[in-house]
Amino acid sequence: MSTYHPTPSYAQLRLPSEDLTADMDFFIQIGFRLDKIFPADDPAVAMLSGFDLHLVLDKRVTSPPAVINIITDTPETIANGKKELIAPNGTVFHVLPRTQTLVTPSTQHHFEVRKLSEASSWVIGRAGMLYRDLIPDRLGGSIIASHISIPEGGPVPDMVHYHTIGFQLIFCKRGWVKLVYEDQGPPFILRAGDCVTQPPEIRHRVLEASDHLEVIEIGVPAEHMTTIDHDLELPTTTYRPDRLFQGQRFCHHQVKDAVWEDWRIAGFRFRESGIKEATQGDAAVHVIQPVQALQESPVVSHTTDILFNFVLSGAMRLAAEGQNIQHLAEGDAFVIPPDMKYQFTHISEDLEFLEVALPGSFETMVH
């Protein structure tokens, strides 16, 4: 007695064809296999498969030709290493690498201020979340900084995923969010003032958020790939807090454990997040406060590539070389290019701001 084994389901992509023979020859030459053809007396339809894709070449189809990406780590074996091919029916093939290569563009330096009071600040993003772009031109693609708000909390419809990225920071400004990370133990709550780094390709998932959640998210470079992991379940059974992900370690800094130290600019103090050590110097993340209300800080400059700041509370004025004086308040962000002289003035006692430096090791000059 035989047992019936149904064929697994699959999808087909239908493509137009005016010259079925020419199209079949082209597709077979680049690596597809002919599976079926009909009718026998005057073939009008050919079914092919290859590269985990099922195609139907159909003389009756009038839709425009498609664009198909062939993803491979051996591009030299396809069409003599050509990166783009065009079939007789107009179908365009791009041969792309299977392994993603992270490319960080050179920073295009300039002074930038983004204010919360700007009417066009917020846009509606995915799942109803509100986004503010804190560096609109991305400094040439080297960084993206977003202020994200979730007005109504609850369970988050997220999946286990990871990012092909150089550096990523999540700083909780208001509310709380429940997260879980690969090899980092059970889910935990990230509260206001806390932050995490998401090392390259660490699997993670957002589980739940409070009403009126606000986070600051930093990503380097600005354009990076997010990949869904359909197989891994979180939390993992292993706990490896010292595991390295492409040279970086997961870091969860909690404000309740903060230790305050004198900052590099006189009159201020900061709390160390541990991110400089976790990223082996790729980034440094500090929260800064004045020791007391100050009329002005020293005039300084810095040597790091990117110095991003976000005002968490309070107010101050920013005087930067060659720029108009900026009145800054909660929700405002600014970027100071290297070697530009700047000074903080009219500093309120309740001022607190986030500073992200990339890379994390640099010098500050007092002028």
Q: What is the DSSP string of 231-279?
A: S--SS-S-B-TT-EETTEE-EEE-GGG--EEE-SSTTEEEEE-SHHHHT
Q: How large a percentage of the chain has pLDDT more than 70?
A: 96
Same domain, 234 and 324: no
Q: Answer yes or no: is pLDDT of 279 > 90.
A: yes
The pLDDT score that the predictor gives to residue 123 is 86
Where does the pLDDT of residue 271 fall: very low under 50, low under 70, confident under 90, or very high at 90 and above? Answer: very high
Q: Are strands 188-191 and 244-245 parallel, antiparallel or unpaired?
A: unpaired
For residue range 192-202, what is the model confidence (pLDDT) as tens digits? 999 999 999 99
Where does the pLDDT of residue 6 fall: very low under 50, low under 70, confident under 90, or very high at 90 and above? Answer: low
Same domain, 240 and 261: no
Where does the pLDDT of residue 217 fall: very low under 50, low under 70, confident under 90, or very high at 90 and above? Answer: very high
C-alpha distances in Å from residue 142, one per residue of 68, 106, 166, 167, 233: 29, 6, 10, 11, 32
Where does the pLDDT of residue 99 fall: very low under 50, low under 70, confident under 90, or very high at 90 and above? Answer: confident
Give the range of the structural domain holding residue 320, as residue numbers without chain letter.
257-366
3-state helix, strand, coil in the chain (%, to 5): 5, 45, 45
Same domain, 233 and 116: yes
For residue range 105-155, what is the model confidence (pLDDT) as tens digits? 999 999 999 999 886 678 887 666 789 999 999 999 999 999 999 888 999
Domain end point (choices 39, 72, 97): 97
Burial class (CB in 10 A: 0-12, 13-18, 19+), 231: exposed
Q: Alpha-carbon distance 266 to 68, whole Å?
A: 58
Q: Answer yes or no: is pLDDT of 3 > 60.
A: no
Q: Alpha-carbon distance 316 to 292, whole Å?
A: 13
The pLDDT score that the predictor gives to residue 317 is 97
Same domain, 147 and 224: yes
Cite the DSSP H helix spans in the chain. 20-29, 275-278
Q: Alpha-carbon distance 357 to 359, whole Å?
A: 6
Same domain, 314 and 236: no
Q: How large a percentage of the chain has pLDDT more than 90?
A: 80
Same domain, 268 and 323: yes
Same domain, 152 and 242: yes
In a domain, 104, yes or no: no
The pLDDT score that the predictor gives to residue 5 is 56
For residue range 33-64, what is the model confidence (pLDDT) as tens digits? 999 999 888 899 999 999 999 999 999 998 89
Q: Answer yes or no: is pLDDT of 164 > 70.
A: yes
Quickly tell me which residue has 């050919």 as its tokens: 46
Contact 338, 302 (CB under 8 A): yes
CATH value at residue 282? 2.60.120.10
For residue range 288-346, what is the model confidence (pLDDT) as tens digits? 999 987 899 999 999 999 999 999 999 999 999 999 999 999 999 999 999 999 999 99
Contact 284, 276 (CB under 8 A): yes
The pLDDT score that the predictor gives to residue 16 is 95
DSSP 9: P
Q: How many independent structural domains does the chain possess? A: 3
Q: Answer yes or no: is pLDDT of 28 > 70.
A: yes
Where does the pLDDT of residue 234 fall: very low under 50, low under 70, confident under 90, or very high at 90 and above? Answer: very high
CATH value at residue 76? 3.10.180.10
Same domain, 88 and 143: no
Where does the pLDDT of residue 281 fall: very low under 50, low under 70, confident under 90, or very high at 90 and above? Answer: very high
Same domain, 165 and 35: no
Most distant CA pair in the chain: distance in Å?
92
Same domain, 243 and 116: yes
Domain end point (choices 206, 222, 251): 251
Q: Answer yes or no: is pLDDT of 224 > 80.
A: yes
